[in-house]
Structure formats: structure tokens, C-alpha cells
Amino acid sequence: MDTPSPLQSAAEKQQGRDAALALLEQARSGLIEHAFTCACLINSQKGSVSATDVWEVLYGQAKLDDNLAHWLKVADPRWMGAVFRESRGWTRVRWEESGSHKRPVAVWTR
């Protein structure tokens, strides 16, 4: 039996990410579409948007929407990656430090 190589090509890694994001789009379609709408609005206002910007809006809305609050609490936060897929028209323009630990966060535009 052949064992998989520990070194994956960039294309194989991208295929794995795409497959994972496609599953998330099915499982969290309503949440992803809502976040996508928020991201588009922020982008139209500021010229760019980050996941941090979208989280801020969603958490603000969740104070008035118990259903949204529930999904933000229970859903694995990696679903946000599905919001900014290239197939949705997004282009990464830069990285910026964000959050309490100043980790790099992608900034997108479309």
C-alpha cells in the first residue's frame, strides 16, 4: 500500500481547502450568505473589508437576533473563509494586524 507523501503540492492543498469550504457552504449556507452580504456592504463603503470587519457587524446584529447569536456561538468560526472565496469575486489586497493578539488578517476587495 502506498503511503501519502507528507509534502503536498500547492494544488493539492488548494483542492483540500476548496473541498472543505464547499462543505461549509452547504452546512452553513444561510450564515455564509448573510456574512457575504455584510462583507459586500462594508466593501462598498470602505473600499475593502476583512473578516474582523464582518465579525464586528455580525456580533452587533446578534444582540438583536437570537437566531444569529446562536449560530455565531455554535458554528466553528472557520466558516468565514467561505465568505471570501475567489469564486465569489474577492481579491486579497493585503494583510493587516487585527484582534487582541495582532494576528495577520487578510483584507479583501471586489
Average pLDDT over every residue of 50-61 = 96
pLDDT at 1: 52
Question: Burial of 24 by CB count in 10 Å (0-12 exposed, 13-18 middle, 19+ buried)?
Answer: buried
What percent of the chain is predicted at pLDDT more than 70? 92
pLDDT at 36 over 70: yes
pLDDT > 60? residue 104:
yes
Q: What is the pLDDT of residue 5?
A: 61
pLDDT tier for residue 88 given thresholds of 50, 70 and 90: very high
- If one counts every other C-beta atom within 10 angstroms of the C-beta of residue 22, the result is 13
